[in-house]
């Protein structure tokens, strides 16, 4: 399928058109809810990766390490008082 979205190259034109149609029918609230669900899913995936890498980590450490994958070191220190580099991160 010819599209600017190379990651959808294996999607048929009919399926892509249906996806666009469904998205256009969504209310702003539905779109926002979808984004919140996607964000929560990505956060759970990051936490699962941390748990696999640091099986002895408690929930606070899992949270901090997963958050440190999204925020820069300076922000982590200011916001959470935790330095990923000082803690083996």
- Averaged pLDDT, groups of 10, the chain, 89 residues long: 69 88 96 96 96 96 95 96 82
Query: Where are any strands of DSSP class E within 30-77?
Result: none
Residue 88: its pLDDT value, please? 62
CA distance 70 to 50: 13
CA distance 79 to 67: 11
* Contacts (Cβ under 8 Å, ≥6 apart) of 83: 73, 76, 77
Residue 73: its pLDDT value, please? 95
Residue 7: its pLDDT value, please? 76
Residue 2: its pLDDT value, please? 55
* pTM for this predicted structure: 0.71
């Amino acid at each position: 399928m010819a599209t600017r979205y190379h990651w959808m190259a294996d999607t048929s034109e009919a399926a892509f058109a249906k996806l666009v149609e469904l998205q256009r029918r969504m209310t702003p609230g539905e779109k926002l809810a979808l984004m919140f669900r996607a964000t929560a899913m990505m956060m759970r995936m990051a936490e699962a990766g941390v748990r696999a890498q640091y099986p002895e980590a408690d929930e606070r450490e899992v949270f901090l390490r997963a958050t440190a994958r999204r925020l820069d070191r300076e922000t982590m220190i200011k916001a959470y008082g935790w330095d990923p580099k000082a803690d083996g991160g």
